[in-house]
């Protein structure tokens, strides 16, 4: 009886989390096509130990991300074992243009453009 109640509780919690208004893209390119005002789009790009430079602009304005270090060995952070996390909030109706430019050390930069429509 108690086990089934606990299972139902966790299923309800997972359902509530899945219906949250925020959009988590992760490291891929599956950005939403449309969001509502007030929603947050979260995405990340790998921090490859200074080998890649990641520049993000939102509607032409540069955005800085947080560096999250997640991998460690013997209490020490591994080089390149982290991610740059970015958050963009839809503040008003219209379009959001997110440009992500990744420049490898000594290489050609690649820019990907994502346009997201913001509805009331």
Longest dimension (CA), the chain: 62
Does residue 2 have a pLDDT over 80?
Answer: no
What is the per-residue pLDDT across 97-106, written as a single tens digit (0 to 9) for each? 999 998 888 8
> In sequence order, which residues have a C-beta less than 8 Å from that of residue 35 and are 6 or more positions away?
23, 41, 90, 96, 116, 117, 118, 119
Q: What is the distance, to the nearest Å, from the Cα of residue 108 to the centroid of all Cα atoms in its chain? A: 24
**pLDDT tens digits, residue range 53-110?**
889 999 999 998 887 777 667 777 666 667 889 999 999 999 999 999 988 888 899 9
pTM score over 0.75:
no
pLDDT for the residue numbered 119:
93
Residue 24: its pLDDT value, please? 75
36 strand-pairing partners: 119
Q: Is residue 39 pLDDT above 90, yes or no? A: yes
Nearest Cα to Cα of residue 49 among 107, 106, 104 = 104
Q: Which residue has the higher pLDDT, 24 or 42?
A: 42
pLDDT at 13: 45
In the sheet that holds 40-47, the strands lie side by side as 23-26, 40-47, 82-89, 66-69
């Amino acid at each position: 009886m108690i086990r089934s109640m606990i299972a139902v509780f966790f299923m309800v919690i997972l359902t509530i989390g899945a219906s949250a208004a925020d959009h988590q893209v992760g490291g891929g390119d599956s950005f939403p096509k449309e969001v509502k005002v007030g929603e947050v789009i979260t995405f990340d790009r790998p921090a490859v130990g200074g080998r890649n430079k990641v520049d993000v602009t939102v509607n032409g304005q540069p955005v800085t991300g947080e560096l999250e270090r997640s991998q460690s060995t013997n209490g020490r952070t591994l080089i390149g074992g982290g991610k740059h996390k970015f958050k963009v909030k839809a503040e008003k109706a219209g379009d959001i243009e997110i440009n992500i430019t990744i420049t490898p050390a000594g290489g050609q930069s690649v820019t990907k453009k994502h346009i997201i429509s913001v509805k009331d």
